[in-house]
Structure 1
């Protein structure tokens, strides 16, 4: 594999920008139409992309679909589709700024769950970072200052689901290739979203169809650049730069949707991101130590 860290960082930055734009489009469309319908259409295009890429990576569609753990792979696909629906719903309830500030806690949840799910050991430094990170979440939510808004639990649930999805990716990778996991993610999610989303079909205006098409294209483009990122650089090196999606999404929320960045949200998000990056770096160091003979 080519190892070009600078190119990897650039590609991850572009990926974060594309995904932030996708979130902005999702926020608008889900505010006008049913969330399930919006995610369903998005999945139709995503599945076509997944099938083409997975078949190319594996040599054939049959090889891409072949797995020794179909139930777990199917659950992963369902989990990601459900997580996307929950996060898009959060955009409509809280906006991009607060939703992403809370969602930024997902690497901390990955660290918390890595023990029971993967059997990994989490040292005291990472536990300290996790505790500090969740203090940041409390700063964002401000419990006790005002009545806790139930809507704030929605992006937190999304973060928990995404963390579990990420851990399951690592678990299934013990037996299946990345192409196989990618195939099951797109196809199962597409089938699931079609079954539940088709009942909520609504007529869409021409301008919004254009935005929907743009949403589908950004979804494919974002996954393509993400694949290229991991082809040219180590995931552990570029992963911290994925936090730029929070920055870009916040800018879109403020400039496009007129959202406000309150002081407690900014302070809390900075704490969460700092703790998350530290956790990622410690995880990388632990993996390096474990791999040394």
Structure 2
């Protein structure tokens, strides 16, 4: 039951995050939103670390690796925000589910992890899902889909970097430095087109920042309590949930191709994380 509650909190947070980004699109620049998200995130994380009396978590000897992770994650966030503004919400979430497949490929190349037959089949299932959803070569193909796919690859690089950092740094340390290092990136890129924001927009930005933190925290808590296969399966419920949001609030289509492609990715993700005997 605790796993379901943590996953429910995570799913709702991801949906609130997407809604907040969609509502701000065209009103506040993406870089400006990312700056405030990092500022609020760093402030909240520092407050948590300070309250717990764990200031030693602010120390790290791997600032270069944190920098690499932050750059790729920042770029991935930008691509995801662009996708939310231009594509149906469900399509963005579906294409985001390709990140585990890119992670498996990158881990094999850079971390020398074995690319088993099982993982190769999982990757092929994921790529099949991408082709079903994106439908390249047809009139309905949207180039913005490639931006979201690039974002998924960026998230995969960030995940690989996170895996390397966890050998020395805590999750709170990694999240704090991510926000801290992304802050100047967002400010520098947002400054040329900086706009004044009103109270309603500020409220949405705060919602985006808190939803992002709670989404990942809930996911991490669920992973502590349950097998990763179960968590991946439950996480997939984001797709139909955001599909309903898109239909109800934004009159977006929820097509058969999206469902079929999403199911291919779900099967691929389950095969990617499944281990015999668990």
TM-score of the superposition, structure 2-length normalised? 0.89
Out of 7, 17, 41, which is 1:22 matched to? 17
Aligned partner of 1:112 in structure 2 is: 105
Displacement of 1:105 in angstroms is 1.1
Report if the CA contact (8 A) 1:33-1:202 is conserved. yes
Question: Could you say if the C-alpha distance between residues 281 and 57 of structure 1 is closer, same or farther in structure 2, counting changes exceeding 3 Å?
Answer: farther
Q: What SS does the aligned partner of 1:256 have?
A: helix
Displacement of 1:170 in angstroms is 0.7
Q: Using the alignment, how far apart are the partners of 1:201 and 1:8 within structure 2?
A: 41
Aligned partner of 1:178 in structure 2 is: 171
Q: What SS does the aligned partner of 2:154 have?
A: helix
Q: What SS does the aligned partner of 1:149 have?
A: coil
Out of 146, 151, 162, which is 1:158 matched to? 151
Aligned partner of 1:136 in structure 2 is: 129
Report if the CA contact (8 A) 2:118-2:271 is conserved. no
Q: What SS does the aligned partner of 2:43 have?
A: helix
Out of 213, 216, 230, which is 2:209 matched to? 216
Report if the CA contact (8 A) 2:229-2:270 is conserved. no
Q: What SS does the aligned partner of 1:88 have?
A: helix
Q: Using the alignment, how far apart are the partners of 2:54 and 2:247 within structure 1?
A: 45
Q: What SS does the aligned partner of 2:25 have?
A: helix
* Two-structure CA RMSD over aligned residues (Å): 2.4
Aligned partner of 2:44 in structure 1 is: 49
Q: What SS does the aligned partner of 1:31 have?
A: coil
Q: Using the alignment, how far apart are the partners of 2:126 and 2:206 within structure 1?
A: 37
Displacement of 1:233 in angstroms is 4.6
Unaligned runs of 5+ in 2: none
Report if the CA contact (8 A) 2:90-2:254 is conserved. yes
Q: What SS does the aligned partner of 2:139 have?
A: coil
Aligned residues between the structures: 278
**Comparing 115-124 and 235-244, the one that deviates more:** 235-244
The aligned runs of 1:227-238 (5 Å cut-off) are 227-230=220-223, 232-233=225-226, 237-238=230-231
TM-score of the superposition, structure 1-length normalised? 0.85
- 1:9-53 per-residue CA deviation (whole Å, 9 max, x = no partner) reads 320221121111111111120232211112222221111112233
- 1:191-250 per-residue CA deviation (whole Å, 9 max, x = no partner) reads 322222233322334433333333333234334434543554565653442222223222
Report if the CA contact (8 A) 2:15-2:238 is conserved. yes
Aligned partner of 1:90 in structure 2 is: 83
